[in-house]
Amino acid sequence: MGATESFTIKTPCSSANIGPGFDVIGLALSMYLELQVTIDRARPSSAHPLNCRITYEGEGAGTADISLDPEVNLITRVALYVLRCHDQRGFPADTHVHIKNPIPLGRGLGSSGAAVVAGVMLGKECGGLHHLTPARLFDYCLMIERHPDNVGAALFGGFVGTYLKPLTPADVARTEIPLSEVLPAPAGGVDTGVKPPAPPLGIGHHIKFPWAPEIKAVAIIPEFEVPTARAREVLPAQYPRTDVTFNLQRIALLPVALGQSPPDPELIYLAMQDKLHQPYRQTLIPGLTEIVESMTPDTQEGLLGVCLSGAGPTILALATSNFGEIAERIIAKFTENHIVCSWKLLEPAEGTTVVRA
Ligand SMILES: Nc1ncnc2c1ncn2[C@@H]1O[C@H](COP(=O)(O)OP(=O)(O)O)[C@@H](O)[C@H]1O
Ligand SMILES: N[C@@H](CCOP(=O)(O)O)C(=O)O
């Protein structure tokens, strides 16, 4: 290998929950966060903090959401977490990470999940940590993004069910370590030398479900953001038993219904209903309940079902045809609430890849 290395990490966006699968189901979709990385290992050090220079193009460029400081930027901060768990304090000299991000921030399309997965992979590649298997990388992701649906889809690709193994009380304590201790807040460039807590082994698991090839995803993306943390705060701590049973009945149907070819619109529409998160998030997303209830396969040809994408505010419509018409009808509902939207036609995507030049 020469002194200069370059590689590209590509991670898909994702839509979590798909109706009833709150914190369980994830679907990787065909819009990709890309990291173009070059490392000049021949240089003894670099002029940049932690040997890392970040450049960025795409969503959120130039805003406070996206820092170019490697200790603050979510992607490089996660990579540093992985490196420091392996006694490497910074990036190899001289690392340049160019981030290309088309995934809108805070819209329910898994931008943070993609950033975490790409960051974990960046740590692995920069540190030469070849022993880290995809399953172990999933553990690292789960120390940072605590719900497994987005990171599971972004890492493994496709339509996935994710679950956490029952942890020992000691491991529960370790996964409940405040995020600030896993990802130390910037210390003004001063390295405290503290080794962060490594994740317990085998926290997260996933299973891939089939996906009928006819089904595509129409994402209707409002121009306002709903931070996922805020959309989780509005959820209750306890639920009526009837609502839990309602979701259990539908989650038993969903993976089968979306895997069957040709798709059965009535079954899919039924399987995408939810009572655990969407009704509560209505307070943050004007018109949500009406949008989800306004169209059925009987009233819109080609439609299979409508749900909130992740924590919102994006709406995901699954369909086999008439994609533009479906998007325009949902956009019209948002317009009634003075909300401007764009839309994209997406397809299931493969998981995170690393391609070396
Ligand atoms: N490519 C990225 N680079 C750096 N930070 C990112 C990137 N993508 C997302 N983030 C961080 O994640 C935040 C959005 O996370 P979140 O509220 O969970 O929304 P989402 O539903 O898009 O995942 C952004 O405000 C930003 O701080
Ligand atoms: N299960 C989570 C999914 C959040 O997804 P995001 O794309 O909005 O980050 C939830 O519903 O809170």
pLDDT tens for each residue of 230-246 = 999 999 999 999 999 99
Q: How far is the CA of 297 from the centre of ligand 1 (A)?
A: 33
From the number of C-beta atoms within 10 Å of its C-beta (0-12, 13-18, 19+), residue 307 rates as buried
> 3-state SS string over 145-171?
CCCHHHHHHHHHECEEEEEECCCCHHH
* pLDDT tier, 177 (very low <50, low <70, confident <90, very high otherwise): confident
Q: Are residues 119 and 180 in the same domain?
A: yes
Q: Which CATH number goes with the domain that contains 70?
A: 3.30.230.10
- Read off the pLDDT of each residue in 39-59 and give the average, rounded to a whole number: 86
Over the stretch 7-39, which tens digit does the pLDDT of each residue have?
999 999 999 999 999 999 999 999 999 999 999
Q: How far is the CA of 117 from the centre of ligand 1 (A)?
A: 12
Q: Is the shortest distance between the CB of 110 and ligand 2 below 6 Å?
A: yes
User: Residue 233 sits in which domain range?
Assistant: 211-346
Q: Are residues 26 and 83 in the same domain?
A: yes
* pLDDT tier, 187 (very low <50, low <70, confident <90, very high otherwise): low
Domain count, the chain: 2
Q: Are residues 183 and 254 in the same domain?
A: no
Tell me, what's the pLDDT at 226?
96
Q: Are residues 313 and 228 in the same domain?
A: yes
Q: How far is the CA of 231 from the centre of ligand 2 (A)?
A: 8
Tell me, what's the pLDDT at 191?
65
Q: How far is the CA of 106 from the centre of ligand 1 (A)?
A: 6
Q: Are residues 88 and 218 in the same domain?
A: no
Q: Are residues 60 and 181 in the same domain?
A: yes
From 47-56, 60-69, 301-310, the region with the lowest mean pLDDT? 47-56
Instruction: Determine the atom of ligand 1 nearest the C-alpha atom of 110.
Output: 23
Q: Looking at the predicted structure, is the pLDDT value of residue 215 above 60?
A: yes
Q: Are residues 124 and 167 in the same domain?
A: yes
- Read off the pLDDT of each residue in 137-147 and give the average, rounded to a whole number: 93
Q: Token pair 């690392």 is at which residue?
A: 95
Write down the H helix ranges in 186-277.
Answer: 228-233, 241-259, 265-271
Q: Are residues 85 and 220 in the same domain?
A: no
Please tell me which residue, 183 or 98, carries the higher pLDDT value: 98
**Nearest bound ligand to the CA of residue 311:** 2
* pLDDT tier, 332 (very low <50, low <70, confident <90, very high otherwise): very high
Cis preceding linkage at 262, omega within 30: yes
Q: What is the pTM of this model?
A: 0.96
Q: Looking at the predicted structure, is the pLDDT value of residue 186 above 60?
A: yes
Q: Are residues 11 and 38 in the same domain?
A: yes
Q: How far is the CA of 310 from the centre of ligand 2 (A)?
A: 4
Rounded Cα distance between 76 and 82, Å, is 10
Q: Which DSSP string corresponds to 44-78?
A: S--SSGGGEEEEEEETTTTSTTS--STTTSHHHHH
Instruction: Determine the atom of ligand 1 nearest the C-alpha atom of 67.
Output: 4
ipTM: 0.99
Q: Are residues 194 and 136 in the same domain?
A: yes
From 40-49, 201-210, 280-289, the region with the lowest mean pLDDT? 40-49
Q: Which CATH number goes with the domain that contains 274?
A: 3.30.70.890
- List the structure tokens of 343: 């839309």
Q: Are residues 26 and 103 in the same domain?
A: yes
Q: Are 314 and 107 in contact (CB under 8 A)?
A: yes
Q: How far is the CA of 66 from the centre of ligand 1 (A)?
A: 8
Instruction: Determine the atom of ligand 1 nearest the C-alpha atom of 150.
Output: 23
Tell me, what's the pLDDT at 2?
60
Rounded Cα distance between 4 and 18, Å, is 43
Q: Is the shortest distance between the CB of 16 and ligand 2 below 6 Å?
A: yes
Which of 27, 74, 100 has the most ligand 1 atoms within 8 A of CB, as the residue to mutate? 74
Q: Are residues 194 and 216 in the same domain?
A: no
Q: How far is the CA of 148 from the centre of ligand 2 (A)?
A: 9
Q: Over the chain, what is the mean pLDDT?
A: 93
Residues of the chain with pLDDT > 70, as a percent, come to 96
Tell me, what's the pLDDT at 115?
97
Ligand 1 site, CB within 6 A: 33, 65-66, 73-75, 99, 101, 105-113, 115, 227-228, 310-311
Q: Whose CA is nearest to atom 9 of ligand 1?
A: 112
For residue 229, give every residue at least 6 positions away whose Cβ sits within 8 Å of its Cβ, in sequence order, or none: none
Q: Looking at the predicted structure, is the pLDDT value of residue 189 above 60?
A: no
